[in-house]
Amino acid sequence: MDTTALRSAYDRLLDAAAIPDLGDAHDGGWNADQILAHVLSVDASIAAVALGIVAGSRPAFDNRISLDTWNLDRIITEHSGRANLIDHVRNQATILCDIADQLNEEATSVAVPTLLLSNDALVLDQPIPLASLIAGLAENHVPVHTQQLLDLRVAVPGHA
């Protein structure tokens, strides 16, 4: 599986996460650490699904744990600051991409029962190929969270 687009998406996300003085979301949404913890949780879960398929099992993907505020707070607490959290996201993204790079067509075509929620709304509840689950990270998931991080930039008075 080609992970070029996914690796580029993570590079943009990590650049955005490293912007100093990211503020809070104006709409009461997640802060930068919560976004990073969410991405880390999703990446680890999808890596586990991919490895499960390679091992011969037929795992499911359910993103609810990566939306749970208790779990996000747990992940944040396990890291000593934003830089450490960014490093962990970078490492987890590399692991996921390295796994995906090794997947053959048979593995990527396995249908994964998938449950996706966003903002308490059902987005998807059906099996999708593993390749689509991973490609969705590059096409939608990571860019959306990159934009969320960019939206947290604190406006500097006198600058446009």
Whether residue 107 is contained in a domain is answered as yes
**What sign has the CA pseudo-torsion 20, 82, 38, 99?**
positive
Q: Are 77 and 88 in contact (CB under 8 A)?
A: no
Is 74 a domain residue? yes
Q: Is residue 157 included in any domain, yes or no?
A: no
In a domain, 102, yes or no: yes
pLDDT in tens, 61-119: 999 999 999 999 999 999 999 999 999 999 999 999 999 999 999 999 999 999 999 98
> Which residues constitute the domain of residue 134?
4-151
Window from 7-11, 23-27, 79-83, 155-159 with minimum mean pLDDT: 155-159
pLDDT of residue 155: 56
133 domain-assigned: yes
| Count of domains for the chain | 1
Cβ neighbour number for residue 101 with a 10 Å cutoff? 13
Q: Is the pLDDT confidence value at 21 over 90?
A: no
State residue 159's pLDDT score.
44
Q: Kindly state the tokens that stand for 52.
A: 């499960």
- In a domain, residue 72? The reply is yes
pLDDT at 72: 97
CATH number at residue 57: 1.20.120.450
In this predicted model, what pLDDT tens digit does every residue of 122-135 receive, in sequence order?
999 999 999 999 99
pLDDT of residue 65: 97
- Domain assignment present for residue 156? The answer is no
127 within domain boundaries: yes
